[in-house]
Structure formats: structure tokens, C-alpha cells
Amino acid sequence: MNLMDKYQIVIGLEVHAQLQTNSKLFCGDSIAFGAEPNTHVSPVTLAHPGTLPKTNKKAVEYAVRLGIACNCEIVRYNYFARKNYFYPDLPKGYQISQHTTPICKGGYVTIQSTEGEKQIILNRIHMEEDAGKSIHDADDFYTCIDLNRAGTPLVEIVTEPCIHSSEDAFQYITELRKLVQWLGVCDGNMEEGSLRCDANVSVRLKRETTLGTKVEVKNLNSIRNVKKAIDYEAERIIGLLEKGEPVIQQTRSFNADNDTTFSMRDKEDANDYRYFADPDLAPFNLTEEYIQNIKEALPALPAELKHTFTTELGLSEYDAANICEDKSSADYFHSVAAINKHYKAIANWMLGPIKQYLNEHQIGYADFTLLPKTFSSLVNLVQEGKVNFSVASQKLLPELMKHNQDPATLAESLNLLQVSNVNELEKWVDEVIANMPDKVAEYKKGKKGLIGLFVGEVKKVSKGQADPKMVTELLQKKLS
């Protein structure tokens, strides 16, 4: 019996997303990444006596925005609690968190799995502050502490233990990452730690209803590593179960060098965090109107846009999905489609030559300088047969990126306009026919498929300027 038929893997994911505010959750220090250590710190961050925290309005708004987009229930009466524990990078000796009373309850994220659309059910989204950073290898005798990150606003997005394959986990993080970026609440950068994932993994027999002993895997700094760590853990636990050995509840760390995990600590005692409401922070209430305003200002979500693009503009599923891969791309498409009805052609351009251009220059649509209006004219130029597509994408586009002028004028000055003057075309056609007597003879004997070869040759000698449709007609006439 296949082991995968015998056991079921149960996965719950906890994602920490750094909110894209300017300042920290409870004080005015910048949260910008990469600053000199211990320069984004204030007496509040350093937990000096007598300092008082004050909640960042924007962070609350971002949490609500994400909650609405994830179909959560938004909680009206909120307060922050203290989670008490000692660690050197936690200056106050407690973390301010909503752990016990999350701002968003329930909800779900829709993913595309191999079995079609699936909803990953959320338990909650709560707000909390980040800890500082401990650097263990900079000094032989001491651990160095950088408190720049301490107090950075986070939301923790927690799923129910409802994911049963590493592939679905991969899709979920991919979707979630896209969503937070789309909403502008988090930059989604996993390498810089703006988006971090912990995976809770357990295994049980297929018919079993209670959960098996779980392990928590930390330090998953890429989506691929989330998948690898789950695969490794599932196999390790099934191995233990098959040998009849106990599974120990542990916190494990992923080692990206060899795709394995190792134990960081056993969870012997249940942690005792002694949560209680932070007396320094006033509770905050959200009104119906406040929530409604955020809801109305929400941008159209990827799934919605994809649907519009396929049903109303006639794009294929594939094209629509790719256009909606990120918000700036969808926005760009949207602004061009507003002034140009050649939707399919716009998509082809965006997913072909323009994507290639962006990749080559390692930029996104946010830094793409071609105006939608200019781009629209470029699309029209090809649609109207004035410039051939490959010439337009290979020669005209790069020039346009340098000059950003009217594509038709530029094409003319660069001599890229397609020639449909019969006299000129005839010269090229005659030249090709004269150069290929053998092929011409074969064609005349009935090998009509050779027409493509002749057209290609004319294209070559004309340096792409010959109108292929007219060339085909001319060739057929001359060779008949």
C-alpha cells in the first residue's frame, strides 16, 4: 500500500507580514529596511521607563484592508495585550500583540490547486509588533542586538489546519504574497523578511479525526523552501510512524543548504505568556462607516479583474492570469484597454516583447516609462499592417523606450514602415524567384507548401519591410 494513501498530511501556516507603513506600530521610528543598526530607535522602542506607546492609525487601516480582502469578519472592539517572555531582542520583556483578540476573524484565501479552485480557511489575522534582531556570529563572546526592527507593525495571518499537500501550501503563500502586494499593505519581500512563514506539520492515518503530534518549522525564507520543508517533515514523520517511534512536539529550523530540518527546541512545558490587556494602550473601536470606507476604497482584486478580462474583454484564461500576476501589470493593461479595443493584441504585446524588455532591464511596470497612449499607437501600427510585429517589437520598441515619441513618426524616420507599394514589392519578389530556380520548379510541380519559404525570403531581403500579405498574393500570381 502506498504510504501516501495510508496517511494524511495536515498543514497549518502562520505568515507574518510586515505592514508597509512609514513608522512603527507604537512610535515614530522609521521601519525602512537596511538602515545602520540601532539608528531607528526611540525611547519607546528601547523601553525606557515612563515612555508610552501610541497606536499607528495606518497600521490598523492596513490590517482591516487585508481582512476585508480575505473575507474575514472585522472585529469592532479591539485592544492590545502583552505577551510576556524574556529574550534579549525584546526590550520591554513583553511583545504587544493581539493574540487573544484578533482584529480579523475567520475568512479564506482562494487558491488554484491541481484539483481546481480551493478555499484555504483562515483562523484569524492579528496585529503585533516585531522583535529586534539578534546577531550571533558578529562577536566571539557576545550576541549583538540591533533594535531597528523592534516595534515594526506586523500582521500574523493564521490558517486552520486545513492544508493537505505541500503544493497547496505553495499556492497559498503565492496567492497571499500576491494579495498583500496588490493591496499595498506589505511589499512581500521574503528575502528581507517582510513576509515570513512558519509551517505546522502533522501526519495522521487517513480515517483518523484527531490531529497527530505537530512540529513547527521556522526560518522559511522563500516559498520554495516552505514546500521543501513540508515535504521533508512529512516524510520524516511518516518514517517515524512506520517504525512505531514517537513523534516529538518540536520547533524545527529549515536548513536551506541541504533541504532538511533540525530540532531547535522540544516543547516540554506549554509556554506561559501570561497575556493581559496592555494598560498603556487605549482600546480602539471600529465603526461600520470606517469599515465601509475601507471596503469601498479597496482596489479590484486579481480574481475579479481576471474574470472581467476573460468575460468582457475576451482574453484567454492564461493571458488574463498572467496580466493579473501583479497589480501594476493589471493597471497598465487596464489603462491601455480603456483607449484601445485590440485587447488580445495588447495582451500579446505585454506578455511578449514588453515582458521581455522588463525582464532584461529588471524593472516592473511601476518603472516602465512608455505611456499607455504611446503604447496604444504602437499596437495600432501593427494592427493596421503598417509595421510588422517582429520589426515593431525588435526595432521600434527599443527606440521608443529611448525617445518616447509618436510610434508612427519614429517608424517612418527609422524606415521601418511596411512597404505595400507594388513596384517595390515586385523588385524583391522577382529577386527571390530568380535566386531560387529549383524551389520554383518544385512549387510549379505542385509543392504549394513552399510559398511560406518564398515569403520568408522576401521578408529577409526586404529587411522585414515587405507586407507579407501582399507579398503572398504577388508570389501566387507570378508563380501560377
C-alpha cell read off for 198 = 512558519
Among 5, 116, 117, 136, binds another protein (CB under 8 A): 136
Closer to another protein at the Cβ: 87 or 318? Answer: 87
Quick check: 154 binds another protein (CB under 8 A)?
no
Closer to another protein at the Cβ: 76 or 403? Answer: 76
Quick check: 60 binds another protein (CB under 8 A)?
yes
Among 8, 38, 221, 308, binds another protein (CB under 8 A): 38
Query: Residues near 366 by Cβ (< 8 Å), separated by ≥ 6?
Result: 328
Q: Which of these segments, 128-136, 380-388, 412-420, 441-449, binds another protein (CB under 8 A)?
A: 128-136
Residue 72 is classified by DSSP as: P
Quick check: 147 binds another protein (CB under 8 A)?
yes
Quick check: 58 binds another protein (CB under 8 A)?
yes
Total residues at interface with another protein (CB under 8 A): 52
Among 10, 11, 27, 201, binds another protein (CB under 8 A): 27
Question: Within 10 A of 242 (CB to CB), how many other CB atoms are there?
Answer: 11
Closer to another protein at the Cβ: 209 or 262? Answer: 262
Stretch 243-262 residues interacting with another protein (CB under 8 A): 262
Picking from 383, 384, 391, 428, the residue whose alpha carbon sits closest to that of residue 411 is 391
* CA–CA gap between residue 74 and residue 105 (Å, rounded): 7
Please tell me whether residue 48 adopts helix, strand or coil conformation.
Answer: coil
Closer to another protein at the Cβ: 285 or 404? Answer: 285
Q: Which residues of 195-232 are buried (b: 16+ CB within 10 A; e: fewer)?
A: bbbbbbbbbbeeeeeeebbbbbbbbbbebebbbbbbbb
Which segments within 300-361 are labelled E, that is strand? none
Quick check: 143 binds another protein (CB under 8 A)?
yes
C-alpha cell read off for 245 = 517511534
Quick check: 40 binds another protein (CB under 8 A)?
yes
Query: Residues near 320 by Cβ (< 8 Å), separated by ≥ 6?
Result: 305, 306, 309, 310, 347
Question: Are the C-beta atoms of 153 and 25 separated by less than 8 Å?
Answer: yes
Taking every pair of Cα atoms in the chain, the longest distance, rounded to a whole number of angstroms, is 98
Quick check: 6 binds another protein (CB under 8 A)?
no
Quick check: 398 binds another protein (CB under 8 A)?
no
Q: Smallest distance, Å, CB 72 to another protein?
A: 21
Q: Smallest distance, Å, CB 286 to another protein?
A: 9
C-alpha cell read off for 203 = 501526519
Among 59, 183, 382, 392, binds another protein (CB under 8 A): 59
Q: Which residues bind another protein (CB under 8 A)?
A: 21-23, 27-30, 36-44, 46, 54-60, 79, 84, 86-88, 134-136, 138-139, 141-147, 262, 264, 272, 274, 277, 279, 281-285
